[in-house]
Amino acid sequence: MHLSELFRNGKFVITCEVTPPKGVDIGEFLNTVDMVKDHVDAVSIGDNQRAVMRAASLVICHLLKEKNIEPLMELTARDRNRIALQSDLLGAAIMGIENVLLVSGYPPSVGDHAQAKPVYDLDSVSLVAAAKALTQGHDITGHALDGIPSLCLGVAANPGLKPAEPHLERLKQKIAEGAQFIQTQAVYDPEVLEKFMESVSRLNVPVMVGHAMLRSASMASFMNSNLPGVSVPDKFIKELEGLPKHQIAETSLRISIDLLRRMKPLCQGVHFLVAGWEQYVPTIVEAVVGQKTRQASS
């Protein structure tokens, strides 16, 4: 089911990123999916996310589809040219993978193959345009398709980025090209989200706020130093400082629930980025929306 349809029905849409294996052993990956699958509308699968080489997103999404779990496939312009990108989108649609998140992708230098050649044949705006073209029955050079793919297109945004204007300008372009929903970078201040929502209100596109649980005070400082636009307030870092391990999880969980309860009325969904802490997602979802999102598939 297209996520856009859920938004249209007024549902608070929840997705959670689960990291594909670096290797061919998918046991642990599937266990992790099991932890969250009943509490999310779609499981989001990164495309060599943060420039770390992993198993192909398309294949992993297909596996989920077979298990009757809705995937959200990320597609990055970093590793493929326009031919491969369109081809993968068609492939996905054939497999029934219809929700896609189209991003330009972090440069190879942040990941584990710093020497890799960055492609960026398309950027995120033209990638949206290409996908939209496919859904209209032709490729970007105008050749007609045999059968038209049905795709729901999502794009990324970073509400904390400064200066905001150039970024918002690009976001508007993406929407103009046909993007149907927005997933944001992690936001830890409801005011920042509120401001962002005001600036995109005229675009009339649903927004899912990104949320990464704070794994430690050091992880929060790391994000502040290394992720542009992410700003974890000092009060959260102070709360986590010096805590023993078992109390960190408890405190972090409380921070997440408080924060998302305050942000829920502002936006239309939440996207969890919790690599390694997926076991806490059900607790947060139940505390924030009050119930399971999706009945266990029978």
Partner 1 sequence: MSNQNQTDRILVIASVQDLVNMIKEAVGGSLEVTYAPNQKEGLERARKDLPAIIVLGYLEPQGTAFALHRKLREGWITKNIPLLIVDIESADHPQRVLSMEEGLQMEADEYVSLHRTDGQVSVSRLAEPIARLKETLHTRLRTTANLVREAILDPDTFCVTWEQVPGRGAFEMQQEELVENARRAARRGRIHAVSVTDNPGGNPAISTEILCTEIRKLGIEPLVHLAFRDKNRNECESMLYGLAALGVRNLLLLTGDYPSSGGFMGRSKPVFDLDSVHGLQLVEMMNAGMEHEAMGKKTTLAPTDFFAGTSVSPFKQSEAELVGQYHKLKKKVDAGADFVITQLGYDARKLHEVLTWLKVNGYNTPVMSNIYVLPYGAAKIMNANQIPGCVVTDKLLEEVAQEAKASDKGRSARLARAAKIYAVAKGMGCAGAHIGGHGLTYEMVEGIIDKGEELAKDWKTLVAEFDYPQPNGFYFFERDLKTGLNLETPASRPAKTGLSPVYELSRLAHVTLFNPRSIIFKAFKPVMKRVDSSARIESIFGSMEHLAKVAMFGCMNCGDCSLFDVAFLCPMSQCPKNQRNGPCGGSHEGWCEVHPDKKCVWVRAYERLKRHKEDNSIGEYTVPPCNWELMGTPSWINFYLGRDHTAKRLGIPPVPKKPPSVERDKVKSDQKTASS
Cβ–Cβ under 8 Å, residues 18 and 49: no
Q: CB-based burial of residue 71 (10 Å sphere; 0-12 exposed, 13-18 middle, 19+ buried)?
A: buried
Asked if 21 contacts 29 with a C-beta cutoff of 8 angstroms, the reply is: yes
* Binding flag, residue 115, partner 1 (CB under 8 A): no
Closer to partner 1 by Cβ: residue 46 or 149: 46
Sign of CA dihedral 208, 236, 256, 247: positive
Judged by CB under 8 A, the residue of 28, 112, 165, 234 near partner 1 is 112
Closest residue by Cα to residue 52 from 104, 118, 111: 111
Return the residue of 212, 259, 267, 270 that touches partner 1, per CB under 8 A: 212
Pick from 120, 192, 203, 221 the residue near partner 1 by CB under 8 A: 221
Interacting residue with partner 1 among 66, 165, 191, 241 (CB under 8 A):
241
| 161 forms part of the interface with partner 1 (CB under 8 A) | no
Q: Which of 2, 215, 264, 294 binds partner 1 (CB under 8 A)?
A: 215
Nearer to partner 1, 27 or 244 (CB): 244
Residue whose C-alpha is closest to residue 35's, from 285, 278, 287, 273: 278
The nearer residue to partner 1, 252 or 293, going by C-beta atoms, is: 252
When asked if residue 106 is in the footprint of partner 1 (CB under 8 A), the reply is yes
Q: Which residues pair with 210 in a beta bridge?
A: 186, 271
What residues between 256 and 285 interact with partner 1 by CB under 8 A? 273, 275-276
Residue type, 226: N
The single residue among 49, 57, 76, 252 that binds partner 1, judged by CB under 8 A, is 49
* Whether 57 contacts 46, CB under 8 Å: yes
Q: What angle do CA 30, 33, 37 make, to 5 degrees?
A: 140
Burial of 38 (0-12, 13-18, 19+ CB in 10 A): middle
Candidates 75-83, 170-178, 188-196, 214-222: pick the segment binding partner 1 (CB under 8 A).
Answer: 214-222
* Comparison of 45 and 93: residue with beta carbon closer to partner 1: 45
Question: Alpha carbon 287 to chain centroid distance?
Answer: 21
Count of residues in contact with partner 1, rule CB under 8 A: 30
Q: Quick one: 51 or 151, whose CB is closer to partner 1?
A: 51
| 235 in contact with partner 1 (CB under 8 A) | no
Question: Taking CB under 8 A as the rule, does residue 118 contact partner 1?
Answer: no
109 vs 226: CA distance, rounded Å: 13
Candidate segments 77-85, 136-144, 220-228, 252-260, binder of partner 1 by CB under 8 A = 220-228
Residues that bind partner 1 (CB under 8 A): 49-52, 106, 110-112, 114, 212, 215-219, 221-223, 225-227, 241-242, 244-246, 248, 273, 275-276
